[in-house]
Amino acid sequence: MTLKSELHSHVGSLRRYALVLTRDPVAADDLVQETLVKAIAKADTFQPGTDLRPWLFRILHNTHVSDLRRARTRNDAAADLPEPLARECQHTQLELKQVLGALDQLPEAQRLPIILIALREMSYTEAARTLDVPLGTFMSRLARGRAALRGIVQGMGSGKLSLLKRKGEES
């Protein structure tokens, strides 16, 4: 794979990650643009021979965290939630909103590992490198985050929704 095609693939991944982080297509593209501008400025710090993807994701991650700190409050973009590709229905949308709402209640340290792994584009090691934490710390945060997410969603009544969904899928 040439560097150009590799980079193009990574930019697609960045857009996916940014979309889940921001919940808004315009804000996601802004975040990706900002990331690429920073990456261009930092190109000389990239170590050839190392994996480009964690390097890019780390820049996006740091940019996002900085933006959040600047904004202080997260935009309430629930109305602009991206719609799932498969089986679009009100039920899935509602579930997604609940999961994203639950994610928002998690600390950043637990939220980001869950999102990174859900993208299914990185190994645990790469994701840990992206967040600049040791692998053990990453795994621990992922595990605690998933447990907490489950608890929050169950508290929201998502269990019922899941049951309904499964019934709907079977029919």
Per CB under 8 A, residues contacting other proteins are 2-4, 7-8, 11-12, 15-20, 25, 28-29, 32-33, 36-37, 39-40, 43-44, 46-49, 52, 81-86, 92, 95-96, 99-100, 114-115, 117-120, 123-124, 139, 142-144, 146-147, 149-150, 153, 162
Q: Among 132, 76, 84, 85, which residue's Cα sits nearest to residue 108? A: 132
Least distance to other proteins, CB of residue 18, Å: 7
Least distance to other proteins, CB of residue 89, Å: 12
For 131, list phi and psi in degrees, rounded to 5: -90, 0
72-98 CB burial, b ≥16 within 10 A, e <16: eeeeeeeeeebeeeeeeeeebeebeeb
Least distance to other proteins, CB of residue 2, Å: 7
Q: Among 9, 7, 2, 34, which residue's Cα sits nearest to residue 119? A: 9
Which lies closer to other proteins via its Cβ, residue 30 or residue 69?
30
- Dihedral sign (CA 47, 135, 105, 79): positive
Least distance to other proteins, CB of residue 165, Å: 8
Which lies closer to other proteins via its Cβ, residue 72 or residue 80?
80
Least distance to other proteins, CB of residue 50, Å: 11
Which lies closer to other proteins via its Cβ, residue 3 or residue 72?
3
Which lies closer to other proteins via its Cβ, residue 3 or residue 71?
3
- Cα distance between residue 118 and residue 107, in whole Å: 17
